[in-house]
Structure 1
């Protein structure tokens, strides 16, 4: 199986939104309640269009099928799509700040087949090419095992409150290259 990546485009957004929903609904059931899952899809998970504008968001394909997505950022936002971000998203300083690893989703049919690792390697390499030497991310519980295998260590456990009263557990994680 050959996994390829390419930069995401605005034309990909409708398909990626479907992929994100399928990923969260399919891979989070052992970690989150149905209400947490639906609330997180509504209020947190989604496309951060700034990543597409910055050229730091990728889609992973096997043949013509898009099977996953993920990116990195040189901006301060740690997690969340457009619906969750602060209006201002300042640039990070690669000399002192960690690049943000962002918005990783794999279709459940393709889980545990190396898709996430592949996208992670693409993102880390691109961030290094842009001067970053460390990485930070906000992981949902289903992603923690992948990130630990990739060398990330937990820094903090966050209980992210959502507007409808649900709470989403997030693990802030860090890796130095």
Structure 2
């Protein structure tokens, strides 16, 4: 059985490991080894603002952290602490879309509905805060999941990382 709870700062080290495992294990059909390592270094990671805001979740199975993900009432669309320099401004739920953020699942637990469960928890929490629409920046391996959950592709963007590697991201939305 999967349990989902709010992440704490005590989870960060383990979540960083989980994120690395997830990206290395589930992105190989979509990104080159160089893109994967660059993305882990410069973009993918825990966003401590989400933990502070109480909007980041951990999925556990038999005491093992098997997934994570969250939502944000702030402007940033994707990226961990290493990807931003300042605190994000707050969004207005009456006119802005909540941001679905930083979903990762352990490769050994992929395709078991874990990300789907976390996304539902996040959408419900954002709705409880007054948000009626959602945006996210999907990695290429995540696009099929988000499409299955009603998200529509808006734009493909290539994010240039500091070492020059490009990371394909698909901006998606859901009303």
Match of 1:107 in 2: 106
Distance in 2, Cα, partners of 1:10 & 1:86 = 19
Distance in 2, Cα, partners of 1:127 & 1:144 = 21
- Could you say what secondary structure the match of 1:83 adopts? helix
Extract unaligned runs of 5+ from structure 2: none
Match of 2:139 in 1: 140
Deviation at 1:3, TM superposition (A): 1.4
Match of 1:169 in 2: 168
Deviations 1:18-46 (A, max 9, x none): 00000000000000000000000000000
Shift in CA distance, 134/86, structure 1 to aligned 2, threshold 3 Å:
farther
Q: If the length of structure 2 is used for normalisation, what is the TM-score? A: 0.99
Match of 1:13 in 2: 12
Extract unaligned runs of 5+ from structure 1: none
Distance in 1, Cα, partners of 2:51 & 2:21 = 21
Q: Could you say what the CA RMSD is over the residues aligned between the two structures, in angstroms?
A: 0.6
Distance in 1, Cα, partners of 2:119 & 2:58 = 11
Deviation at 1:86, TM superposition (A): 4.2
Distance in 2, Cα, partners of 1:37 & 1:88 = 26
CA contact (8 A) 2:49 2:87 kept: no
Match of 1:34 in 2: 33
Residue 131, structure 1, aligned to residue 130, structure 2? yes
Match of 1:93 in 2: 92
Q: If the length of structure 1 is used for normalisation, what is the TM-score? A: 0.98
